[in-house]
Structure 1
Amino acid sequence: MTTEVHDPELMDYRAEVQSFRDYLKSSKRVMALCGAGLSAASGLPTFRGAGGLWRTHDAISLATPEAFRINPSLVWQFYNYRRHMALNVKPNPAHYALAELAKKRKDFITLTQNVDGLSPRAGHPAEQLFPLHGSLFDVKCSEFFCDYAEGNNFTDPIVPALALPLDESDPTTTEARKAKELDISDAKVLLPELRLDDLPHCPKCKKGLLRPGVVWFGERLPEKTLSTAEDWIIASKKIDLIIVIGTSSTVYPAAGYTDRARVKGARVAVVNMERTEKTTQGMREGDWYFQGDAGVILPDLLKDEIGELTVLE
Protein backbone atom coordinates (compact mmCIF):
# COMPACT_ATOMS: atom_id res chain seq x y z
CA MET A 1 0.00 0.00 0.00
CA THR A 2 1.40 3.41 -0.98
CA THR A 3 0.65 6.67 0.69
CA GLU A 4 0.10 9.69 -1.51
CA VAL A 5 2.01 12.78 -0.45
CA HIS A 6 0.20 16.02 -1.09
CA ASP A 7 2.47 19.05 -1.14
CA PRO A 8 0.25 22.15 -1.15
CA GLU A 9 3.04 24.36 -2.50
CA LEU A 10 3.78 21.95 -5.34
CA MET A 11 0.08 21.62 -6.14
CA ASP A 12 -0.28 25.41 -6.19
CA TYR A 13 2.74 25.68 -8.49
CA ARG A 14 1.38 23.09 -10.92
CA ALA A 15 -1.98 24.87 -10.93
CA GLU A 16 -0.24 28.15 -11.77
CA VAL A 17 1.74 26.47 -14.56
CA GLN A 18 -1.42 25.03 -16.07
CA SER A 19 -3.17 28.38 -15.76
CA PHE A 20 -0.31 30.01 -17.65
CA ARG A 21 -0.27 27.31 -20.34
CA ASP A 22 -4.01 27.63 -20.91
CA TYR A 23 -3.75 31.39 -21.25
CA LEU A 24 -0.75 31.18 -23.60
CA LYS A 25 -2.66 28.77 -25.81
CA SER A 26 -5.42 31.36 -26.27
CA SER A 27 -2.98 34.27 -26.73
CA LYS A 28 -2.05 35.73 -30.11
CA ARG A 29 0.39 38.60 -29.59
CA VAL A 30 3.09 37.68 -27.08
CA MET A 31 6.39 39.29 -26.11
CA ALA A 32 9.28 38.42 -23.81
CA LEU A 33 11.64 40.76 -21.98
CA CYS A 34 14.92 39.14 -20.90
CA GLY A 35 17.77 40.05 -18.59
CA ALA A 36 20.89 38.42 -17.14
CA GLY A 37 18.85 35.75 -15.36
CA LEU A 38 18.12 34.13 -18.73
CA SER A 39 21.80 33.20 -19.10
CA ALA A 40 22.46 32.30 -15.45
CA ALA A 41 21.93 28.57 -16.10
CA SER A 42 24.67 28.70 -18.75
CA GLY A 43 27.19 29.57 -16.04
CA LEU A 44 28.14 32.88 -17.59
CA PRO A 45 29.79 35.33 -15.15
CA THR A 46 27.71 38.45 -14.64
CA PHE A 47 28.82 41.69 -16.25
CA ARG A 48 30.07 43.30 -13.09
CA GLY A 49 31.24 40.20 -11.27
CA ALA A 50 31.89 39.97 -7.58
CA GLY A 51 32.47 43.41 -6.17
CA GLY A 52 32.04 45.07 -9.55
CA LEU A 53 35.67 44.40 -10.46
CA TRP A 54 37.48 42.85 -13.39
CA ARG A 55 41.15 42.21 -12.64
CA THR A 56 40.77 44.89 -9.91
CA HIS A 57 39.54 47.37 -12.53
CA ASP A 58 36.08 48.86 -12.14
CA ALA A 59 34.10 47.08 -14.85
CA ILE A 60 31.61 49.92 -15.24
CA SER A 61 34.38 52.44 -15.88
CA LEU A 62 35.63 50.28 -18.78
CA ALA A 63 32.23 50.34 -20.50
CA THR A 64 32.34 53.93 -21.71
CA PRO A 65 33.40 55.74 -24.90
CA GLU A 66 35.84 57.78 -22.79
CA ALA A 67 37.60 54.65 -21.51
CA PHE A 68 38.01 53.37 -25.07
CA ARG A 69 39.39 56.70 -26.24
CA ILE A 70 41.89 56.88 -23.34
CA ASN A 71 42.96 53.23 -23.17
CA PRO A 72 41.62 51.06 -26.02
CA SER A 73 44.11 48.32 -25.14
CA LEU A 74 42.63 47.85 -21.65
CA VAL A 75 39.05 48.05 -22.90
CA TRP A 76 39.68 45.50 -25.65
CA GLN A 77 41.29 43.11 -23.14
CA PHE A 78 38.17 43.42 -20.98
CA TYR A 79 35.85 42.73 -23.90
CA ASN A 80 38.10 40.00 -25.25
CA TYR A 81 37.66 38.31 -21.86
CA ARG A 82 33.87 38.72 -22.03
CA ARG A 83 33.71 37.39 -25.60
CA HIS A 84 35.88 34.42 -24.65
CA MET A 85 33.79 33.57 -21.59
CA ALA A 86 30.53 33.80 -23.57
CA LEU A 87 31.88 31.54 -26.32
CA ASN A 88 32.94 28.96 -23.77
CA VAL A 89 29.46 28.42 -22.38
CA LYS A 90 26.43 27.05 -24.20
CA PRO A 91 22.89 28.31 -24.58
CA ASN A 92 20.72 26.75 -21.88
CA PRO A 93 17.21 25.26 -22.23
CA ALA A 94 15.61 28.67 -21.59
CA HIS A 95 17.32 30.11 -24.70
CA TYR A 96 16.20 27.11 -26.77
CA ALA A 97 12.65 27.28 -25.41
CA LEU A 98 12.26 30.92 -26.47
CA ALA A 99 13.82 30.14 -29.86
CA GLU A 100 11.34 27.29 -30.44
CA LEU A 101 8.41 29.45 -29.39
CA ALA A 102 9.53 32.13 -31.87
CA LYS A 103 9.72 29.56 -34.68
CA LYS A 104 6.19 28.37 -33.97
CA ARG A 105 4.66 31.82 -33.39
CA LYS A 106 5.30 34.63 -35.83
CA ASP A 107 3.46 37.05 -33.53
CA PHE A 108 6.02 36.56 -30.77
CA ILE A 109 9.05 38.82 -30.18
CA THR A 110 11.86 38.77 -27.64
CA LEU A 111 13.46 41.94 -26.30
CA THR A 112 16.77 41.13 -24.62
CA GLN A 113 19.12 43.24 -22.52
CA ASN A 114 21.80 40.54 -22.83
CA VAL A 115 24.85 41.01 -25.05
CA ASP A 116 26.21 37.45 -24.72
CA GLY A 117 25.05 36.13 -28.10
CA LEU A 118 23.51 32.99 -26.57
CA SER A 119 20.02 33.55 -27.99
CA PRO A 120 21.25 33.70 -31.62
CA ARG A 121 23.38 30.61 -30.99
CA ALA A 122 20.23 28.82 -29.77
CA GLY A 123 18.67 29.47 -33.18
CA HIS A 124 16.34 32.30 -32.19
CA PRO A 125 15.05 33.85 -35.44
CA ALA A 126 16.87 37.16 -35.89
CA GLU A 127 13.76 39.00 -37.11
CA GLN A 128 12.02 38.20 -33.80
CA LEU A 129 14.95 39.03 -31.52
CA PHE A 130 15.68 42.60 -30.42
CA PRO A 131 19.04 43.06 -28.62
CA LEU A 132 18.47 46.34 -26.83
CA HIS A 133 22.08 46.69 -25.66
CA GLY A 134 23.84 45.36 -28.76
CA SER A 135 26.09 42.31 -28.83
CA LEU A 136 29.62 41.37 -27.83
CA PHE A 137 29.92 39.73 -31.23
CA ASP A 138 29.04 42.77 -33.28
CA VAL A 139 31.91 45.12 -34.07
CA LYS A 140 31.90 48.55 -35.65
CA CYS A 141 34.34 51.28 -36.58
CA SER A 142 34.97 53.90 -33.92
CA GLU A 143 35.63 56.64 -36.52
CA PHE A 144 32.73 59.10 -36.59
CA PHE A 145 32.49 59.27 -40.38
CA CYS A 146 32.87 55.54 -41.02
CA ASP A 147 29.77 53.33 -41.07
CA TYR A 148 31.49 49.94 -41.08
CA ALA A 149 29.70 47.35 -38.92
CA GLU A 150 29.87 43.58 -38.79
CA GLY A 151 27.55 41.19 -36.98
CA ASN A 152 28.19 37.74 -35.53
CA ASN A 153 31.97 37.93 -35.44
CA PHE A 154 32.78 34.91 -33.27
CA THR A 155 36.54 34.92 -33.87
CA ASP A 156 38.32 34.22 -30.58
CA PRO A 157 40.51 36.14 -30.10
CA ILE A 158 39.42 38.76 -32.58
CA VAL A 159 43.10 39.58 -33.29
CA PRO A 160 46.22 37.52 -32.38
CA ALA A 161 47.53 40.13 -29.92
CA LEU A 162 44.53 39.46 -27.68
CA ALA A 163 45.37 35.76 -27.36
CA LEU A 164 46.11 36.24 -23.68
CA PRO A 165 45.79 33.55 -21.01
CA LEU A 166 42.37 33.74 -19.42
CA ASP A 167 42.42 30.77 -17.09
CA GLU A 168 44.31 30.05 -13.87
CA SER A 169 47.61 30.30 -15.74
CA ASP A 170 46.98 34.01 -16.14
CA PRO A 171 48.92 35.76 -13.35
CA THR A 172 46.44 38.62 -13.32
CA THR A 173 43.75 36.18 -12.19
CA THR A 174 45.65 35.19 -9.05
CA GLU A 175 46.81 38.76 -8.47
CA ALA A 176 43.25 40.01 -8.64
CA ARG A 177 42.02 37.32 -6.26
CA LYS A 178 44.84 38.03 -3.82
CA ALA A 179 44.09 41.75 -3.84
CA LYS A 180 40.42 41.01 -3.18
CA GLU A 181 41.21 38.61 -0.33
CA LEU A 182 43.57 41.12 1.27
CA ASP A 183 41.06 43.91 0.69
CA ILE A 184 43.60 46.05 -1.12
CA SER A 185 41.08 48.50 -2.48
CA ASP A 186 43.57 50.57 -4.45
CA ALA A 187 45.52 47.61 -5.91
CA LYS A 188 45.79 47.56 -9.68
CA VAL A 189 46.57 44.46 -11.67
CA LEU A 190 48.79 45.54 -14.54
CA LEU A 191 47.76 44.11 -17.88
CA PRO A 192 49.92 43.98 -21.01
CA GLU A 193 50.07 47.28 -22.88
CA LEU A 194 49.25 46.41 -26.48
CA ARG A 195 50.29 48.54 -29.42
CA LEU A 196 47.49 50.33 -31.25
CA ASP A 197 48.65 48.65 -34.47
CA ASP A 198 47.92 45.26 -32.89
CA LEU A 199 44.32 46.06 -31.95
CA PRO A 200 41.39 45.37 -34.34
CA HIS A 201 41.30 47.92 -37.17
CA CYS A 202 38.52 48.84 -39.57
CA PRO A 203 38.89 47.04 -42.92
CA LYS A 204 36.88 49.76 -44.66
CA CYS A 205 38.43 53.11 -43.73
CA LYS A 206 41.78 51.56 -42.70
CA LYS A 207 42.04 54.27 -40.07
CA GLY A 208 39.71 53.71 -37.15
CA LEU A 209 39.88 51.07 -34.45
CA LEU A 210 37.07 48.57 -34.33
CA ARG A 211 35.10 48.58 -31.09
CA PRO A 212 32.62 46.15 -29.54
CA GLY A 213 29.08 46.66 -30.80
CA VAL A 214 27.60 47.02 -27.34
CA VAL A 215 25.84 50.04 -25.90
CA TRP A 216 28.22 51.76 -23.50
CA PHE A 217 27.17 53.98 -20.62
CA GLY A 218 26.24 57.39 -21.96
CA GLU A 219 25.32 56.06 -25.42
CA ARG A 220 21.92 55.84 -27.07
CA LEU A 221 20.31 52.46 -27.56
CA PRO A 222 20.24 51.24 -31.19
CA GLU A 223 17.61 53.34 -32.96
CA LYS A 224 16.75 50.72 -35.59
CA THR A 225 16.15 48.07 -32.93
CA LEU A 226 14.01 50.40 -30.85
CA SER A 227 11.97 51.64 -33.80
CA THR A 228 11.31 48.10 -35.07
CA ALA A 229 10.15 47.01 -31.61
CA GLU A 230 8.03 50.16 -31.37
CA ASP A 231 6.43 49.42 -34.75
CA TRP A 232 5.45 45.93 -33.52
CA ILE A 233 3.85 47.38 -30.39
CA ILE A 234 2.01 50.13 -32.28
CA ALA A 235 0.73 47.59 -34.83
CA SER A 236 -0.73 45.49 -31.99
CA LYS A 237 -4.38 46.25 -31.34
CA LYS A 238 -3.92 43.98 -28.32
CA ILE A 239 -0.91 42.38 -26.64
CA ASP A 240 -2.05 39.34 -24.72
CA LEU A 241 1.03 38.45 -22.69
CA ILE A 242 4.51 39.64 -21.71
CA ILE A 243 6.95 37.16 -20.13
CA VAL A 244 9.61 38.91 -18.02
CA ILE A 245 12.64 36.65 -17.55
CA GLY A 246 15.61 37.22 -15.27
CA THR A 247 15.31 40.97 -14.91
CA SER A 248 13.86 43.36 -12.36
CA SER A 249 12.70 45.64 -15.20
CA THR A 250 13.76 48.75 -13.32
CA VAL A 251 16.10 50.22 -15.95
CA TYR A 252 14.53 52.29 -18.71
CA PRO A 253 13.70 52.07 -21.52
CA ALA A 254 13.48 48.28 -21.00
CA ALA A 255 11.31 48.78 -17.91
CA GLY A 256 8.78 50.68 -19.99
CA TYR A 257 7.93 47.68 -22.17
CA THR A 258 5.98 45.97 -19.39
CA ASP A 259 3.91 49.14 -18.96
CA ARG A 260 3.43 49.43 -22.74
CA ALA A 261 2.23 45.83 -22.91
CA ARG A 262 -0.20 46.38 -20.02
CA VAL A 263 -1.71 49.37 -21.80
CA LYS A 264 -2.42 47.00 -24.69
CA GLY A 265 -4.16 44.57 -22.32
CA ALA A 266 -1.32 42.17 -21.51
CA ARG A 267 -1.08 39.95 -18.48
CA VAL A 268 2.41 39.56 -17.01
CA ALA A 269 4.35 36.39 -16.20
CA VAL A 270 7.62 36.76 -14.29
CA VAL A 271 10.37 34.13 -14.16
CA ASN A 272 13.12 35.03 -11.70
CA MET A 273 15.51 33.32 -9.30
CA GLU A 274 14.55 35.74 -6.53
CA ARG A 275 11.35 37.26 -5.27
CA THR A 276 12.11 40.81 -4.20
CA GLU A 277 10.34 44.12 -3.99
CA LYS A 278 11.91 45.11 -7.32
CA THR A 279 11.01 41.92 -9.18
CA THR A 280 7.41 41.98 -7.93
CA GLN A 281 6.92 45.70 -8.46
CA GLY A 282 3.75 46.50 -10.37
CA MET A 283 2.34 42.97 -10.35
CA ARG A 284 -1.43 42.68 -10.41
CA GLU A 285 -4.09 40.07 -9.76
CA GLY A 286 -4.07 37.60 -12.63
CA ASP A 287 -0.30 37.83 -13.18
CA TRP A 288 2.04 34.86 -12.62
CA TYR A 289 5.29 34.69 -10.67
CA PHE A 290 7.51 31.64 -11.14
CA GLN A 291 10.53 31.64 -8.85
CA GLY A 292 13.52 29.55 -9.85
CA ASP A 293 15.98 28.76 -12.63
CA ALA A 294 14.74 29.97 -16.02
CA GLY A 295 16.53 27.05 -17.65
CA VAL A 296 14.20 24.68 -15.78
CA ILE A 297 11.01 26.71 -15.56
CA LEU A 298 10.69 28.15 -19.05
CA PRO A 299 10.76 24.84 -20.99
CA ASP A 300 8.11 23.56 -18.57
CA LEU A 301 5.89 26.61 -19.02
CA LEU A 302 6.13 26.40 -22.82
CA LYS A 303 5.87 22.61 -23.05
CA ASP A 304 2.40 22.57 -24.63
CA GLU A 305 3.63 24.93 -27.35
CA ILE A 306 7.11 23.58 -28.10
CA GLY A 307 6.85 19.95 -26.94
CA GLU A 308 9.67 18.15 -25.18
CA LEU A 309 12.82 20.21 -25.62
CA THR A 310 15.87 18.43 -27.01
CA VAL A 311 19.11 20.31 -26.44
CA LEU A 312 22.05 18.92 -28.39
CA GLU A 313 25.36 18.87 -26.53
Structure 2
Amino acid sequence: MLKNQYYRVAVAPMMDWTDRHCRFFHRQLTRHALLYTEMVVADAAIHGQRERLLGFDAVEHPVALQLGGSDPRKLAEAARIGEGFGYGEINLNVGCPSDRVQSGTFGACLMQTPALVANCVAAMKAAVAIPVTVKCRIGVDDQDPEVALDALADGVFAAGADALWVHARKAWLQGLSPKENRDIPPLDYDRVYRLKARLPQRFIGINGGVPSIDEAVRHLGHVDGVMLGRAAYHTPGILAGADAALYGTVPEPVDFAALIETMAAYAARHIEQGGRLGHVTRHMVGLFHGLPGARRWRQILSTDATKPGAGGEVLRAAFAAIDFAGAEEAA
Protein backbone atom coordinates (compact mmCIF):
# COMPACT_ATOMS: atom_id res chain seq x y z
CA MET A 1 0.00 0.00 0.00
CA LEU A 2 1.30 3.43 -0.91
CA LYS A 3 1.88 5.60 2.12
CA ASN A 4 3.08 8.71 0.28
CA GLN A 5 0.92 11.56 1.47
CA TYR A 6 0.91 13.15 -1.97
CA TYR A 7 -1.50 10.43 -3.07
CA ARG A 8 -4.30 12.05 -1.09
CA VAL A 9 -5.22 14.09 -4.14
CA ALA A 10 -4.16 13.92 -7.77
CA VAL A 11 -4.93 15.68 -11.03
CA ALA A 12 -6.15 13.05 -13.46
CA PRO A 13 -4.35 12.16 -16.68
CA MET A 14 -6.37 13.83 -19.47
CA MET A 15 -5.59 13.49 -23.15
CA ASP A 16 -4.72 16.78 -24.88
CA TRP A 17 -4.91 18.60 -21.55
CA THR A 18 -2.37 17.50 -18.92
CA ASP A 19 0.73 18.16 -20.98
CA ARG A 20 3.96 19.51 -19.48
CA HIS A 21 2.76 23.13 -19.69
CA CYS A 22 -0.46 22.32 -17.87
CA ARG A 23 1.43 20.45 -15.17
CA PHE A 24 3.93 23.28 -14.67
CA PHE A 25 0.99 25.67 -14.24
CA HIS A 26 -0.87 23.40 -11.82
CA ARG A 27 2.27 23.04 -9.73
CA GLN A 28 2.22 26.79 -9.10
CA LEU A 29 -1.12 26.28 -7.34
CA THR A 30 -0.38 23.16 -5.29
CA ARG A 31 2.99 21.97 -4.02
CA HIS A 32 1.82 18.53 -2.96
CA ALA A 33 -0.87 17.11 -5.27
CA LEU A 34 0.24 14.28 -7.53
CA LEU A 35 0.23 15.28 -11.22
CA TYR A 36 -0.20 12.87 -14.13
CA THR A 37 0.89 13.02 -17.74
CA GLU A 38 -1.43 12.44 -20.62
CA MET A 39 -1.51 8.78 -21.62
CA VAL A 40 1.59 7.85 -23.62
CA VAL A 41 1.34 4.70 -25.71
CA ALA A 42 4.10 2.22 -24.88
CA ASP A 43 5.19 1.95 -28.52
CA ALA A 44 5.55 5.73 -28.70
CA ALA A 45 7.66 5.83 -25.55
CA ILE A 46 9.93 3.16 -27.00
CA HIS A 47 10.20 4.34 -30.61
CA GLY A 48 9.00 7.96 -30.61
CA GLN A 49 10.56 11.33 -29.85
CA ARG A 50 11.12 10.72 -26.18
CA GLU A 51 12.03 14.21 -25.06
CA ARG A 52 8.88 15.62 -26.68
CA LEU A 53 6.68 12.86 -25.27
CA LEU A 54 8.24 12.33 -21.86
CA GLY A 55 10.28 15.39 -20.99
CA PHE A 56 9.16 17.50 -18.04
CA ASP A 57 10.36 20.23 -15.71
CA ALA A 58 11.69 19.11 -12.33
CA VAL A 59 9.30 21.63 -10.76
CA GLU A 60 6.45 19.27 -11.65
CA HIS A 61 7.36 16.65 -9.03
CA PRO A 62 5.58 14.66 -7.72
CA VAL A 63 4.63 13.58 -11.24
CA ALA A 64 3.57 10.22 -12.67
CA LEU A 65 3.69 8.81 -16.19
CA GLN A 66 0.58 7.09 -17.51
CA LEU A 67 1.17 4.42 -20.15
CA GLY A 68 -1.22 2.76 -22.56
CA GLY A 69 -0.71 -0.71 -23.95
CA SER A 70 -1.42 -4.39 -23.49
CA ASP A 71 1.91 -6.06 -24.30
CA PRO A 72 3.72 -6.84 -21.04
CA ARG A 73 7.14 -6.75 -22.68
CA LYS A 74 6.58 -3.37 -24.31
CA LEU A 75 5.03 -1.90 -21.18
CA ALA A 76 8.00 -3.07 -19.14
CA GLU A 77 10.40 -1.37 -21.56
CA ALA A 78 8.32 1.83 -21.60
CA ALA A 79 8.21 1.79 -17.80
CA ARG A 80 12.03 1.54 -17.66
CA ILE A 81 12.29 4.49 -20.00
CA GLY A 82 9.87 6.49 -17.87
CA GLU A 83 11.80 5.70 -14.72
CA GLY A 84 14.96 6.84 -16.47
CA PHE A 85 13.34 10.18 -17.23
CA GLY A 86 12.73 10.68 -13.52
CA TYR A 87 9.03 9.96 -13.09
CA GLY A 88 8.01 8.90 -9.59
CA GLU A 89 5.32 6.44 -10.66
CA ILE A 90 4.17 4.48 -13.69
CA ASN A 91 0.40 4.15 -14.17
CA LEU A 92 -1.36 1.76 -16.56
CA ASN A 93 -4.46 3.05 -18.36
CA VAL A 94 -7.37 0.60 -18.10
CA GLY A 95 -10.04 3.26 -18.39
CA CYS A 96 -9.93 5.17 -21.70
CA PRO A 97 -12.94 4.25 -23.89
CA SER A 98 -11.98 5.89 -27.21
CA ASP A 99 -12.23 3.90 -30.44
CA ARG A 100 -8.58 4.65 -31.24
CA VAL A 101 -7.48 3.21 -27.92
CA GLN A 102 -9.72 0.16 -28.30
CA SER A 103 -8.25 -0.54 -31.74
CA GLY A 104 -4.87 -0.81 -30.04
CA THR A 105 -6.33 -3.27 -27.51
CA PHE A 106 -5.73 -1.13 -24.48
CA GLY A 107 -7.62 1.29 -22.27
CA ALA A 108 -11.04 0.37 -20.87
CA CYS A 109 -11.43 -2.74 -23.03
CA LEU A 110 -8.77 -4.36 -20.82
CA MET A 111 -11.41 -4.57 -18.07
CA GLN A 112 -12.54 -7.65 -20.02
CA THR A 113 -9.15 -9.37 -19.61
CA PRO A 114 -8.06 -8.90 -15.99
CA ALA A 115 -5.48 -11.68 -16.25
CA LEU A 116 -3.71 -9.82 -19.06
CA VAL A 117 -3.74 -6.62 -17.02
CA ALA A 118 -2.19 -8.51 -14.12
CA ASN A 119 0.54 -9.84 -16.42
CA CYS A 120 1.25 -6.30 -17.61
CA VAL A 121 1.53 -5.06 -14.03
CA ALA A 122 3.83 -7.92 -13.05
CA ALA A 123 6.14 -7.18 -15.99
CA MET A 124 6.26 -3.47 -15.16
CA LYS A 125 6.91 -4.14 -11.48
CA ALA A 126 9.81 -6.40 -12.42
CA ALA A 127 11.25 -3.68 -14.63
CA VAL A 128 11.26 -0.67 -12.29
CA ALA A 129 11.86 0.23 -8.66
CA ILE A 130 9.22 2.99 -8.52
CA PRO A 131 5.51 2.40 -7.81
CA VAL A 132 3.33 0.87 -10.51
CA THR A 133 -0.36 1.72 -10.35
CA VAL A 134 -3.52 1.17 -12.41
CA LYS A 135 -6.42 3.44 -13.34
CA CYS A 136 -9.61 1.65 -14.36
CA ARG A 137 -13.40 1.87 -14.62
CA ILE A 138 -15.91 -0.06 -12.51
CA GLY A 139 -16.70 -2.12 -15.61
CA VAL A 140 -17.52 -1.93 -19.30
CA ASP A 141 -20.65 -2.57 -21.35
CA ASP A 142 -22.80 -5.30 -19.79
CA GLN A 143 -20.29 -6.35 -17.14
CA ASP A 144 -21.53 -6.60 -13.57
CA PRO A 145 -19.43 -3.99 -11.72
CA GLU A 146 -19.46 -6.11 -8.57
CA VAL A 147 -17.69 -8.91 -10.41
CA ALA A 148 -15.63 -6.96 -12.92
CA LEU A 149 -14.04 -4.50 -10.50
CA ASP A 150 -13.22 -7.17 -7.93
CA ALA A 151 -11.60 -9.34 -10.61
CA LEU A 152 -9.49 -6.47 -11.89
CA ALA A 153 -8.49 -5.29 -8.42
CA ASP A 154 -7.61 -8.74 -7.11
CA GLY A 155 -5.55 -9.49 -10.19
CA VAL A 156 -3.48 -6.33 -10.22
CA PHE A 157 -2.82 -6.34 -6.49
CA ALA A 158 -1.74 -9.98 -6.64
CA ALA A 159 0.64 -8.94 -9.42
CA GLY A 160 2.17 -6.26 -7.19
CA ALA A 161 0.30 -3.06 -8.06
CA ASP A 162 0.89 -0.32 -5.52
CA ALA A 163 -2.43 1.46 -5.98
CA LEU A 164 -5.69 1.34 -7.92
CA TRP A 165 -7.47 4.49 -9.04
CA VAL A 166 -11.09 3.83 -10.00
CA HIS A 167 -13.17 6.07 -12.26
CA ALA A 168 -16.51 5.40 -10.62
CA ARG A 169 -18.58 4.81 -13.73
CA LYS A 170 -18.84 2.20 -16.43
CA ALA A 171 -17.45 2.73 -19.90
CA TRP A 172 -19.63 1.86 -22.87
CA LEU A 173 -17.30 0.75 -25.63
CA GLN A 174 -20.04 0.67 -28.25
CA GLY A 175 -22.54 3.43 -28.87
CA LEU A 176 -21.05 6.23 -26.77
CA SER A 177 -18.30 8.70 -27.62
CA PRO A 178 -15.42 9.34 -25.19
CA LYS A 179 -17.11 12.62 -24.23
CA GLU A 180 -20.42 10.85 -23.55
CA ASN A 181 -18.54 8.24 -21.51
CA ARG A 182 -17.53 11.01 -19.11
CA ASP A 183 -21.14 11.98 -18.42
CA ILE A 184 -23.84 9.50 -19.40
CA PRO A 185 -23.00 6.31 -17.50
CA PRO A 186 -24.06 7.09 -13.92
CA LEU A 187 -21.45 7.53 -11.24
CA ASP A 188 -21.40 4.84 -8.57
CA TYR A 189 -19.16 6.05 -5.78
CA ASP A 190 -20.58 3.43 -3.41
CA ARG A 191 -19.12 0.67 -5.59
CA VAL A 192 -15.64 2.12 -5.06
CA TYR A 193 -16.30 2.53 -1.34
CA ARG A 194 -17.25 -1.16 -1.14
CA LEU A 195 -14.02 -2.13 -2.88
CA LYS A 196 -12.03 -0.17 -0.31
CA ALA A 197 -13.99 -1.76 2.55
CA ARG A 198 -13.16 -5.21 1.13
CA LEU A 199 -9.48 -4.35 0.66
CA PRO A 200 -8.64 -2.17 3.68
CA GLN A 201 -4.88 -2.69 3.36
CA ARG A 202 -4.76 -1.65 -0.30
CA PHE A 203 -4.62 1.88 -1.70
CA ILE A 204 -7.90 2.66 -3.46
CA GLY A 205 -8.41 6.09 -5.01
CA ILE A 206 -11.57 7.49 -6.57
CA ASN A 207 -12.12 9.54 -9.71
CA GLY A 208 -15.10 10.88 -11.63
CA GLY A 209 -17.18 14.01 -11.33
CA VAL A 210 -15.49 15.41 -8.21
CA PRO A 211 -16.22 19.16 -8.42
CA SER A 212 -14.29 20.66 -5.52
CA ILE A 213 -11.73 20.24 -2.77
CA ASP A 214 -14.55 20.09 -0.20
CA GLU A 215 -16.05 17.15 -2.07
CA ALA A 216 -12.62 15.50 -2.21
CA VAL A 217 -12.37 15.76 1.57
CA ARG A 218 -15.72 13.99 1.91
CA HIS A 219 -14.58 11.14 -0.33
CA LEU A 220 -11.49 10.69 1.82
CA GLY A 221 -13.78 9.44 4.55
CA HIS A 222 -14.23 6.31 2.44
CA VAL A 223 -11.14 5.92 0.22
CA ASP A 224 -7.42 6.71 0.32
CA GLY A 225 -7.13 9.25 -2.47
CA VAL A 226 -9.18 11.47 -4.76
CA MET A 227 -8.41 12.31 -8.37
CA LEU A 228 -9.71 15.59 -9.80
CA GLY A 229 -10.21 15.81 -13.55
CA ARG A 230 -12.25 18.39 -15.42
CA ALA A 231 -12.84 20.51 -12.32
CA ALA A 232 -9.09 20.95 -11.86
CA TYR A 233 -8.65 21.82 -15.52
CA HIS A 234 -11.59 24.15 -16.11
CA THR A 235 -11.40 25.85 -12.69
CA PRO A 236 -7.73 25.40 -11.72
CA GLY A 237 -8.02 27.94 -8.92
CA ILE A 238 -9.57 25.21 -6.76
CA LEU A 239 -6.13 23.60 -6.56
CA ALA A 240 -4.94 26.53 -4.49
CA GLY A 241 -6.95 25.15 -1.59
CA ALA A 242 -5.68 21.58 -1.86
CA ASP A 243 -2.54 21.83 0.26
CA ALA A 244 -4.22 23.34 3.31
CA ALA A 245 -7.32 21.13 3.11
CA LEU A 246 -5.62 17.83 2.34
CA TYR A 247 -2.01 18.08 3.47
CA GLY A 248 -2.31 20.17 6.62
CA THR A 249 -0.21 23.09 5.46
CA VAL A 250 -0.84 26.60 6.74
CA PRO A 251 -3.32 28.31 4.42
CA GLU A 252 -1.59 30.91 2.30
CA PRO A 253 -3.25 33.24 -0.21
CA VAL A 254 -1.96 32.79 -3.73
CA ASP A 255 0.27 35.62 -4.93
CA PHE A 256 -1.32 35.82 -8.37
CA ALA A 257 0.98 38.60 -9.54
CA ALA A 258 3.99 36.39 -8.82
CA LEU A 259 2.26 33.43 -10.47
CA ILE A 260 1.68 35.44 -13.64
CA GLU A 261 5.35 36.48 -13.72
CA THR A 262 6.43 32.86 -13.22
CA MET A 263 4.21 31.71 -16.07
CA ALA A 264 5.36 34.59 -18.30
CA ALA A 265 9.00 33.60 -17.72
CA TYR A 266 8.16 29.94 -18.36
CA ALA A 267 6.34 30.87 -21.57
CA ALA A 268 9.33 32.97 -22.69
CA ARG A 269 11.60 29.93 -22.35
CA HIS A 270 9.13 27.85 -24.33
CA ILE A 271 8.93 30.50 -27.05
CA GLU A 272 12.73 30.66 -27.26
CA GLN A 273 12.68 26.92 -27.97
CA GLY A 274 10.29 27.40 -30.89
CA GLY A 275 6.96 27.19 -29.05
CA ARG A 276 4.09 29.64 -28.86
CA LEU A 277 2.47 31.48 -25.97
CA GLY A 278 -0.86 29.81 -26.63
CA HIS A 279 0.64 26.39 -25.88
CA VAL A 280 0.99 27.55 -22.28
CA THR A 281 -1.90 29.95 -21.78
CA ARG A 282 -4.60 27.62 -23.12
CA HIS A 283 -4.39 25.79 -19.80
CA MET A 284 -4.83 29.00 -17.80
CA VAL A 285 -8.12 30.25 -19.25
CA GLY A 286 -10.23 29.17 -16.27
CA LEU A 287 -7.87 30.45 -13.56
CA PHE A 288 -10.03 33.38 -12.43
CA HIS A 289 -13.40 31.71 -12.84
CA GLY A 290 -16.08 33.64 -10.96
CA LEU A 291 -14.02 36.79 -10.38
CA PRO A 292 -14.82 40.22 -11.84
CA GLY A 293 -12.83 40.58 -15.04
CA ALA A 294 -12.62 36.84 -15.71
CA ARG A 295 -14.47 37.18 -18.99
CA ARG A 296 -11.94 39.71 -20.28
CA TRP A 297 -9.09 37.50 -19.07
CA ARG A 298 -10.53 34.62 -21.08
CA GLN A 299 -11.03 36.79 -24.16
CA ILE A 300 -7.45 38.02 -24.17
CA LEU A 301 -5.95 34.57 -23.67
CA SER A 302 -8.23 33.06 -26.31
CA THR A 303 -7.37 35.66 -28.94
CA ASP A 304 -4.20 37.68 -28.36
CA ALA A 305 -2.22 34.78 -26.88
CA THR A 306 -2.69 32.77 -30.05
CA LYS A 307 -1.23 35.45 -32.35
CA PRO A 308 2.26 35.00 -33.82
CA GLY A 309 4.87 36.79 -31.74
CA ALA A 310 2.71 36.96 -28.60
CA GLY A 311 4.69 36.95 -25.37
CA GLY A 312 4.45 37.57 -21.65
CA GLU A 313 2.98 41.04 -22.17
CA VAL A 314 -0.29 39.35 -23.18
CA LEU A 315 -0.47 37.52 -19.86
CA ARG A 316 0.17 40.73 -17.98
CA ALA A 317 -2.50 42.61 -19.94
CA ALA A 318 -5.02 39.87 -19.28
CA PHE A 319 -4.17 39.81 -15.58
CA ALA A 320 -4.73 43.57 -15.38
CA ALA A 321 -8.39 42.94 -16.24
CA ILE A 322 -9.00 41.01 -13.01
CA ASP A 323 -10.72 43.13 -10.35
CA PHE A 324 -9.64 41.66 -7.03
CA ALA A 325 -10.96 44.67 -5.12
CA GLY A 326 -14.37 44.17 -6.65
CA ALA A 327 -14.32 40.51 -5.64
CA GLU A 328 -13.57 41.46 -2.02
CA GLU A 329 -16.38 43.99 -1.99
CA ALA A 330 -18.81 41.44 -3.38
CA ALA A 331 -17.75 38.97 -0.68
The TM-score normalised by the length of structure 2 is 0.26
Between the two structures, name the one with larger relative contact order (CA 8 Å, sep ≥ 6). 1
The TM-score normalised by the length of structure 1 is 0.27
Which of the pair is proportionally richer in helix? 2
- Structure showing greater radius of gyration is 1
